[in-house]
Amino acid sequence: MSVQQRIAARVAPHIPRGAVVNLGIGIPTLVADHLPLDHAYLQTENGLLGVGPTPAPDEVDPDLVHAGKQPVTARPGASYFSSSASFGMIRSGRVEIAVLGALQIDAQGRIANWAIPGRPVLGVGGAMDLLVGARTVIVATTHTAKDGAAKIVSEATFPLTAQRPVDLVVTEAATFRVTPDGLELVEIAEDHDLEWVQAHTTAPYRVAIDERGAVHA
Amino acid sequence: MTLASPPVPLPSVAAALEAVRPGATLMVGGFGLVGAPLTLIEGLLEHPGARDLTIISNNLGEPGRGLGRLLLEGRVRKAIGSFFTSNPDVVAAYQEGRLEVELLPQGTLAEAIRAGGAGIGGFYTRTAWGTALAGGREERIIRGEPHLFYESLRADVALVRARAADELGNLVYSKTARNFNPDMATAADVVIAEVDEVVPVGALDPEEIVTPHPYVTTVVLSGKAAAR
C-alpha cells in the first residue's frame, strides 16, 4: 500500500457510522476507499451529498464530479444543491467531519494548507470554510514534507488557513489529538516507533499513548 | 427527451452576447469546466465587445479551454474567484501584471453572489478571520465569535449553464453541473442561460424548477444541442 493509502486507512476508523463527511482533495479523498459503501454520507462542496464510488470508464457522467473534478457516482438518497447551499451546509455545522490535507500543523493544532511564501497566492478553495464550519476536523497528511522537513512544527512559517485548531492529526507514523493544552501523541503506527516520531516532529507534544498503542518507550 | 422546437425562435449566441459591453463585469458559472457555459464562452471570443472584462467565476477555466481561452486572448482584466492555481496561464498572467486577481474563500464567493442576487448589501462570516486573506476588513463579534464583513457581488451579465429551459425561461440543472449557476442566475442585470433543450411551458415539473423564469433574460441553445 502506498504511504498515501496507509494514511487514508489510518483515518478511516475515526469516521463514525452515519456521519456527514467532506473529504478534501488528495489523501483525504482516499479515505473513502477504506470505508464500507454505506458507512458515511460523503459531501462534496461542488454540490452533492451522497458521493458514491468512481464509475467504470464507460459509465462516466461529465456532469457528475467531486471537488477534485474527478468522476464520481451518486448513492441512493443523494441530493444535488447549489454552491451557496453547499457552503451553507458546511458553515452551519451540518458537515460533521472534514478531512483535510495540510502543509504545516502548529503546536496549537492550527493548520496551513493554502499558500506557500514566495509564490503567488491564487487558490484557496473551500478549506477556510470547512475549517470554521465542520464540527470535527481531521488532518490527513504525510508526517514530513517531500524534502524531509517536519510538518508538525512549533510555529507555522506558512500562512494559517484559520485560527480554529483541528481536532486530530493523522500521519503514516502517528496520531495526535489536539487539546486546549496543545498536541497529544495518542498512537504510533506499528511500523514506526517513538524515536522516529520524535526525530521528525519539531512541535512540542505530550505522549499519551493509549492501551492499544504499540509503544515501548 | 428530444429537442422541442419552440414557437418563438431563440436568439443566436452572438445576438444574446450583444449585452456584453467593453469593461463589463461578468459572472460565469461552472466548477472548472463542469457546468461552464462553454458555447457562450466561445461566443465571447467572437464578440469584439467582450474585452477589458471583470470575470466572477470559481476558476478561470483550464489552459486554453473555457475561460482559459478568453484569458489567453487578453480579454480579461480582473478575475474574482476562489481557485485559479489549476490554470498555469492565470499564474503567468498575474505574475506578468496582465491580470488582477481577487481571491475569496469558495463559500464566501458563493454567499456573496447569493446575497447579491437576494437584494442583500453584504454579510458577516467567520471564514478567513485571522488569516492573510482577511485584509483590512471590518470585524464584528457575533454570538461571541469574530466575523468579517463582505460586500455582496453583482454583475452586468451572468452566463449560466442549465440542462433545460421551458419557453418561459424556467431552468433545471444537471447533477453537479448545477454548482454556481443558480446563484449567478439571480445576481446580474442580464442573465443568459445556455441549455441543451427548450421544452414547452408546462413540461417541467414545478417542483424541479431551480431558477424561476423572471431571473432569466435570454435562453440560447448549447453547441451540444445544435449538433443534434
Q: Domain containing A91 — which CATH number?
A: 3.40.1080.10
Neighbours of B83 (CB within 10 A): 23
The domain at B13-220 falls in which architecture?
A: 3-Layer(aba) Sandwich (3.40)
Number of domains in chain A: 1
- Look up the ipTM and state it: 0.95
Catalytic residue among A45, A96, A172, A187: A45
Residue A213 included in any domain: no
B83, B127, B177 ranked by CB distance to A129: nearest = B127
CB atoms B107 and A46 under 8 Å: no
CB atoms B104 and A129 under 8 Å: no
A67, A87, A163 ranked by CB distance to B130: nearest = A163
Residue A95 included in any domain: yes
Q: What is the pLDDT of residues B95-105, one digit of tens each?
A: 999 999 999 99
Average pLDDT over residues A180-202: 97
Q: What is the pLDDT of residues B33-50, one digit of tens each?
A: 999 999 999 999 999 999
Residue B165 has a pLDDT of: 98
Residue A215 included in any domain: no
- A190 catalytic, yes or no? no
Spacing of C-alpha B120 from chain mean position: 18
The residue ranges of chain B whose pLDDT is under 50 are 1-6
Domain boundaries, chain B: 13-220
Residue A103 included in any domain: yes
CB atoms B103 and A121 under 8 Å: yes
C-alpha to C-alpha distance for B65 and B69, rounded to whole angstroms? 5
Residue A214 included in any domain: no
- Domain that includes residue A195, residue range: 3-207
**Residue keyed to cell 461529465:** A62
Backbone angles phi, psi at A139, to 5 degrees: -95, 130
Q: In terms of DSSP bridges, do strands A174-179 and A182-188 run parallel, antiparallel, or are they unpaired? A: antiparallel
- Which residues does chain A have within 8 Å of residue B117's beta carbon, measured at their own beta carbons? none
B109, B129, B182 ranked by CB distance to A163: nearest = B129
